[in-house]
Amino acid sequence: MPQLIDISAFDYLPSAVAVMKKESNLIFINKKFTELFGYNFDDISSIDKWNKIVVSMEDDNDNHSFSWSNTLLKLENSLNEIHIEKSLLICKDKQIKNIEFSLSYSGDKFIVCFQDITSSSQTSSQLKNKVLKDKDDTQLKYESLILGFPDIVLVYDYDEHLLFANPSFTTQTGLLLEDIKHKPKYSFIHPDDRALVIEKISDYISSDTNNPLTLEYRILDKKSQVQWHNGIVAKISFHDSPTIQLISRDISKSKRDQESIIESEKRMSAIFDSAPVSMILLNYKREILQINKKGLSSLKKPYKELNQRAFGSVYSCISALDSPQGCGFGKSCNKCQIRQALEDTFLTGKPHYKVEITLKTLDGIQVFFLSTNLLQYTNRKEILASIDDITQQKQIENQLKYTIDQATESERLKTAFLQNISHEIRTPLNGILGFSNLLGNDNLTEEEKCFYIETLNESSSQLLNVVDNVLNLSRMETEKLPVYKEEVKLNNLLNELYDIYNEQIINKDISLLLNKELDNISSIIYSDTNKLTLIFENLLNNAVKFTKSGKITFGYTIKADKIEFFVEDTGIGIEKIYWIKIFERFYQIDHNLTRAFGGTGLGLTIAKGNVDLLGGKIWVNSSLGNGSSFYFSLQYNPVIESDITYSEKEPAPLDSILPLILVAEDEEINYLFMEEALKEVKVSLLHAKNGRETVEICRERENICLVLMDIKMPLMNGFDAFSAIKKFRPNLPIVAQTAYASSSDKQKADELGFNNYLVKPIRKNLLVEMINNYINP
Ligand code: ADP
């Protein structure tokens, strides 16, 4: 029987084809068959083998009746039918595939065409049970196969005239053969792709190759809808003539699927990239597979430097810092929260949400939230880790916590301060009131009187100290206190302090020592006397207060360009945890204990405030029970010898030999004090109660040789009175006296040319000494 086609043309079909004899001997399998199922001709040449490899689907009801031999037998009895079955085929590599096969019986041969429907069981079976009639037996071999073929099959001669088209052409496109026969060739192909297809096919015809040509193009169906097709063009022999066979498969769905996969991938990667947190995809070895834009920007590294890097080596946990090798080698790595979260998610699939972690990054130590999620695929697992930077939030939180703590502490301290100050004021006031009453008793002995007066004095200076401290602090906090740099005879200043404090410890088991490193001339420095005195007073007050026995040493040493002052005691000492706190206002260590020592918690704050104003540093070194050493260091600014102004040159000579002194003072009690204090000095006193009166008296009484001028007075203040007097008595010595121990008053008094300055409460000794200086120059 003449062969209509060359059987090897089956090799170009996209489906697996097997041709076998009635007795079930295999005659031929095409290349696709081997490709799809792995078997060579020899592997499956016998019927037994076919019964084993083609088996029924599990859910098939005819499970028991199915066998390859039976199927062939069935078809042999129903001649000319195309028989379509679905079953499973066990591949050579034992893989099981879902297949659909069409069987046609022609003469003594079966032609079987297999479709792999494992991934898509949509393979067309339109031709099931369709009867082919009036066909030449031999034609059936090819045409029955082609007719029952789900893909479009077209055969052209070399001049590209259409010779044959299978029914799938009409089924799939809706076009009839007549529609295309009289139209330009390949008219069903989309105009945009047509020229290229024609060109490729003609090139293929004229080439020597027998390998099929694969093309992708669009087809326009009857309704002008676009279908994407994949075409296999092969040279075959048809009716003994060389022809071109085009097998065209509709791939619109997979194309659409592909497009939607691409689209969905794009969407996912846009979401991934635009996430405001760092997102990292990790494999089972915790290596970085993918990292989003935020992640790259926060790590400040390009992807190629991070790809496949271990998560731990990129994000080094703060507790792994002690290991230079990075994550996993540090002492505390086993407890690492990052590692635990990742491992747990991998092993149990449990996601972790907002694990707080601290990492060392290029921007320093930062705090993050780590969340982990398992992504499970068929054959692998990945982890999606997201890292949210909460450093700022954390800082604000800490700041807030700190502020709240501070506010609570400050509230507590204020309450304690009010209680303390009330106590500090009431105690000396009680003393003053009580003893001043007792003094009124006529029957007092001289000794008792002395004791009462001493107690009155002590209580008054205690009270004055409290008032001074409060005033000093409030001035420091409300005014911008200026610093007046003047010549300070440091050794003299310390000597004076020594005298004062030596008197205070006279009844205590304490010795007071003074260390001065420089001689008197070199000890003259530029500084602010008031502030320096205030600092020392506060430190010495504490030293005396907190030392029961032993010694108190104070003084200074020169350290390079700095002068370091110190006040050391052998008192109760201070634990290290309080070394900073005690400089905060109102702060007192262990209130119960400290109450035994009194105080308001302001002394060190005032000392520190003044050291700050002088541009220095203050600190303490101490331990509980072993005394304390307070230090403050300032720039050493010595006055060079030639610049030193010797006070011996002052004051200006008195122009009167009469020791008449005018006391300008509006407070009666203060004037009485002056009278009392100057009783032993041979002077007469005149009293003026306001500025104007002072000026008048000076004008009238030329024999006045000294004016003690209060600054704050009614009608005219002391400064204005001074200026008025100086106009007509330029050489009359005028000494300012004020209750405001502020540097600005002193500065103003100096600028105006006051001859000297007395701070209230005026100490008797100081006053007498000064008066003597003026009246007995
Ligand atoms: P105050 O002495 O009025 O309580 P300060 O501000 O001068 O206030 O001192 C604060 C606290 O520091 C004191 O209450 C005390 O607990 C501690 N302190 C200061 N100086 C000494 C010292 N020399 N020895 C021991 N403790 C001291």
Q: Tell me, using a 6 A CB cutoff, whether residue 26 lines ligand 1.
A: no
Substitution site in 537, 579, 582 for ligand 1 pocket (most atoms within 8 Å of beta carbon): 582
Dihedral of the alpha carbons of 574, 579, 583, 584, in degrees to the nearest 10 = -110
SS (H, E, C) 612-671: HHCCCEEEEEECCCCCEEEEEEEECCECCHHHCCCHHHCCCCCCCCCCEEEEECCCHHHH
Choose the residue to mutate in 575, 588, 632 for probing ligand 1, maximizing ligand atoms within 8 Å of C-beta.
Answer: 588
Give CA angle at 67 (66, 72), nearest 5°.
Answer: 110
The confidence band for 148, taking pLDDT boundaries of 50, 70 and 90, is low
Question: Is 627 touching ligand 1 by the criterion CB < 6 Å?
Answer: no
Instruction: Report the percent of the chain where pLDDT is more than 90.
Output: 25
- Give phi and psi for 56, each to the nearest 5: -70, 155
Query: Which of 162, 150, 149 lies closest to 189, judged by CA?
Result: 162
| Distance in angstroms (rounded) separating the CA atoms of residues 541 and 504 | 10
572 lines ligand 1 (CB under 6 A): yes
Burial 371-393 (b: 16+ CB within 10 A, else e): bbebeeeeeeebbbbbbbbbbee
Give yes or no for residue 652 having a pLDDT over 50: no
Q: Is the CB of 600 under 6 A from ligand 1?
A: yes
Q: Residue 328: what pLDDT?
A: 58
Q: What does the pLDDT read at residue 200?
A: 94
pLDDT (average), residues 187-202 = 92
For 460-509, how does the pLDDT look when each residue is reduced to its tens digit (9 = 90+)? 888 888 888 888 888 777 767 778 888 899 998 999 899 889 988 988 89
| CA 156–ligand 1 middle distance (angstroms) | 111
Cβ of 603 closer than 6 Å to ligand 1, yes or no, is yes
**What's the gap in Å between 603 CA and the centre of ligand 1?**
7
What is the gyration radius of the CA atoms in the chain, in angstroms? 56
Write the DSSP assignment of 395-407 as a string of letters: HHHHHHHHHHHHH
Q: Kindly give the distance from the C-alpha atom of residue 691 to the centroid of ligand 1, in angstroms, as a whole number.
A: 43
- Specify which residues 549 forms β-bridges with: 509
- 248 CB near ligand 1 (under 6 Å): no
Q: Are 559 and 575 in contact (CB under 8 A)?
A: no
Which single residue is written with the structure tokens 């040279």? 235
Q: Cα–Cα distance between 668 and 713 in angstroms, integer?
A: 12
**Chain mean pLDDT for the chain:** 81
Nearest Cα residue to 616 out of 535, 552, 540: 535
- Cα first-last separation, the chain: 159
CA distance 554 to 569: 9
Residue 185 has pLDDT above 90, yes or no: no
Cβ neighbours, 10 Å, residue 364: 8
Which residues have CB under 8 Å from 630's CB, separation 6+? 539, 542, 543, 566, 567, 568, 607, 618, 619, 620
**Residues 107-125, mean pLDDT to the nearest whole number:** 62
- Which is more confidently placed, 759 or 316? 759
Residue 176's pLDDT is: 83
The tokens of 737 are what? 């006296």
Evaluate: CB of 546 within 6 angstroms of ligand 1: yes
Task: Find out whether the beta carbon of 602 lies less than 6 Å from any atom of ligand 1.
Answer: yes
Q: Is residue 16 packed enough to be buried (19+ CB in 10 Å), middle (13-18) or exposed (0-12)? A: buried
Q: Quick one: pLDDT band at residue 539, thresholds 50, 70, 90?
A: very high
Find the 567 Cα to ligand 1 centroid distance in Å.
13
Give the bridge partners for 662, in sequence order. Answer: 686, 707
Residues near 689 by Cβ (< 8 Å), separated by ≥ 6?
665, 666, 713, 714
Q: Which pLDDT score is estimated for 130?
A: 32
Bigger pLDDT: 593 or 94? Answer: 94
CA within 13 Å, CB half, 645: 8
pLDDT in tens, 58-87: 544 444 445 777 777 776 665 545 566 778
The model's confidence at residue 666, banded by pLDDT at 50, 70 and 90, is confident
pLDDT at 634 over 90: yes
Alpha-carbon torsion (447, 448, 452, 453), positive or negative? negative
Q: Could you give the count of Cα atoms lying within 13 Å of 13 in the half-sphere of its Cβ?
A: 27
Q: Find out whether the peptide bond into 761 is cis, omega within 30 degrees of 0.
A: yes
C-alpha 541 – ligand 1 centre gap (Å): 9
Residue with tokens 């046609």: 104
Which whole number is the average pLDDT over 30-51? 86
pTM score of the predicted model: 0.46
For the chain, the maximum distance between any two Cα atoms, rounded to a whole number of angstroms, is: 166
Cβ contacts of 29 within 8 Å, gap of 6 or more: 16, 17, 18, 19, 39, 41, 44
Q: 601 C-alpha to center of ligand 1: Å?
A: 7
Report the separation in Å between the CA atom of 100 and the middle of ligand 1, taken as the mean of its atom positions. 98
Q: Provide mean pLDDT across the span 244-267.
A: 86
The answer to whether the CB of 465 is under 6 A from ligand 1 is no
pLDDT of residue 648 exceeding 70, the answer is: no
Residue 123 pLDDT > 90: no
- CA nearest 387: which of 353, 349, 360? 353
Q: How far apart are CA 490 and CA 517, in angstroms?
A: 11
Rounded CA-CA distance 626/644 in Å is 42
**Does the beta carbon of 570 lie inside 6 Å of ligand 1?**
no
Q: What is the atom index within ligand 1 of the atom nearest the CA of 590?
A: 16
10, exposed or middle or buried, with CB in 10 Å at 0-12, 13-18, 19+?
buried
- CA–CA dist 118, 50 (Å, integer): 19
Q: Which of 539, 542, 575, 628 to mutate to test the pocket of ligand 1 (most atoms within 8 A of CB)?
A: 542
CA angle (43, 47, 49) in 5-degree steps: 45
* Residue 189 DSSP one-character state: B
Task: Kindly state the DSSP code that residue 81 receives in the 8-state scheme.
Answer: B
Sign of CA dihedral 683, 684, 686, 687: positive
Residue 682 to residue 685: CA distance in whole angstroms: 10
